[in-house]
Amino acid sequence: MEFLRLIHGYQFNSGLAQLFPTPYALATLVLFVWSIAPAVKMRIGGGFMLWLRVTWVLTLLPAVTGVILALGGAKVPSATDAGEGVSKYGFPVDPSRDWEHWMYAGLCVISLYVIEVLVRGRLIEHRVGLRLLPVATLFLYGCAYMIGRVAVFPGSTPGS
């Protein structure tokens, strides 16, 4: 179980962790920056598609380990009392952060699916999809960032 926690909860401890706290957030940030080129050039390159696949792997790895941990009774660290009403990060415990963590994870999976639809040109015209690609990838990055944030920091309802 500790190995799963290690994989699921890996975070960067550098100064840049404010911009991308996890490898997953970094991958989605790179995907966002990379998505600007297809929106301008109106074509998708092989490198972008490869990075999209890497992002899928980096989405599913913590998702699967998170489901396994949740089935074992684990909750997000910001919702878990490590003693005296504080989390392992030293902030007040906020049980509402657990469902938020799940919500952002679900939004990431949905966003990746939407990105696949935009890239493939299904449901909407391909050119319109490519123009919307940076918006979808920015939303994905925001959700990936919030996954790491809600795991560490309490929300507006600590102790509830």
What is the pLDDT at residue 88?
A: 85
Q: pLDDT tens digits, residue range 77-131?
A: 888 888 888 888 888 888 888 899 999 999 999 999 999 999 998 889 999 999 9
The pair phi, psi for residue 51, each rounded to 5°, is -65, -35
Q: How many Å separate Cα 116 from the centre of its chain?
A: 16
Q: How far apart are the first and last CA of the chain?
A: 28
What is the pLDDT at residue 144?
A: 95
> 96: which DSSP letter?
T
More confident: 104 or 6: 104
**Residue 60, helix vs strand vs coil:** helix
Structure confidence at residue 16 as a pLDDT band (50, 70, 90): low
Structure confidence at residue 138 as a pLDDT band (50, 70, 90): very high
Alpha-carbon distance of 114 to 55, in angstroms, equals 14
Alpha-carbon distance of 9 to 25, in angstroms, equals 12
